[in-house]
Amino acid sequence: MKRKGFRFYLRIYFKILAQDLKSKMSYRADFIISTVGMIFTNIAGFVSFWIMFRNFPSISGYSYHEMLFLYGFSLLSVTPTQCMLDNNWNLRQQVYSGDFIKYCFRPINLFFYYESEIFDAKGLGQLAFGIGTLVYAWAKLGLAVTPLAVLKLLVFLAGASFVMAALQTAAAASCFWIENSFYVLDLAFRFRDYAKYPITIFSPVFRFIFTYIIPIAFIAYYPGMMVLRPSEVSLLSWLSPLIGAVFFYLAYRFWMYGASKFNSTGS
Partner 1 sequence: MKLRKYFALTRAGIIESLHFKLGMFVMVIGNLLYLILVYFLWRSIYASAGGGSVNGMTFTDTLIYLVLATALFNFMEMYTVWEIGRNIQSGKIVLDLLKPMSYRRYLFWSYSGGFVTQFFATFLPTFIAVTVLTHGAVPLGINLLWFALSVVLAVMINYSIDFIVGTICLFTESIWGINIMKQVIVLLLSGATIPLAFFPDSLRKIVDCLPFQSIYNAPLTILLQADPTPAEVLPTVAVQLLWAVGLTVVSSLFWKCSLRQITVNGG
CB closer to partner 1 out of 5 and 57: 57
Measured distance CA(91)–CA(115) in Å, rounded: 10
Choose the binding region for partner 1 from 7-15, 33-41, 69-77, 156-164 (rule: CB under 8 A).
33-41
**Smallest separation (angstroms) from partner 1 to the CB of 161:** 22
The pattern of x and - marking residues 54 through 83 that bind partner 1 according to CB under 8 A reads xxxxxxxx----------------------
Q: Assess 46 for contact with partner 1 (CB under 8 A).
A: no
CB closer to partner 1 out of 60 and 267: 60
Measured distance CA(123)–CA(86) in Å, rounded: 10
Q: Assess 36 for contact with partner 1 (CB under 8 A).
A: yes
Q: Assess 48 for contact with partner 1 (CB under 8 A).
A: yes
Measured distance CA(34)–CA(127) in Å, rounded: 15
Quick check: 165 and 251 in contact, CB under 8 A?
yes
Count Cβ atoms below 10 Å from residue 46 Cβ, excluding itself: 17
Binds partner 1 (CB under 8 A): choice among 51, 145, 213, 235: 51
**Smallest separation (angstroms) from partner 1 to the CB of 108:** 29
Binds partner 1 (CB under 8 A): choice among 18, 21, 47, 151: 47
Measured distance CA(20)–CA(13) in Å, rounded: 11
Q: Which residues, at least 6 apart from 223, have a Cβ–Cβ distance to it below 8 Å? A: 73, 77, 156, 157, 159, 160, 237, 240, 241
**Smallest separation (angstroms) from partner 1 to the CB of 188:** 9
Choose the binding region for partner 1 from 45-53, 93-101, 160-168, 227-235 (rule: CB under 8 A).
45-53
Secondary structure of residue 262 in the 3-state scheme: coil
Binds partner 1 (CB under 8 A): choice among 13, 112, 136, 202: 202
User: In degrees rounded to 5, what are phi and psi of residue 63?
Assistant: -80, 170
Count Cβ atoms below 10 Å from residue 201 Cβ, excluding itself: 12
Binds partner 1 (CB under 8 A): choice among 8, 40, 208, 249: 40
Count Cβ atoms below 10 Å from residue 266 Cβ, excluding itself: 6
Binds partner 1 (CB under 8 A): choice among 10, 106, 150, 183: 183
Give the distance, in angstroms, between the CA of residue 32 and the centroid of all CA atoms in the same chain: 22
Adjacent-strand bridge partners of 58: 63
Measured distance CA(99)–CA(47) in Å, rounded: 41
Residues found near partner 1 in the complex (CB under 8 A)? 27, 29-30, 32-38, 40-41, 44, 47-48, 51-52, 54-61, 178-184, 186-187, 190, 194, 197, 200-203, 206, 214
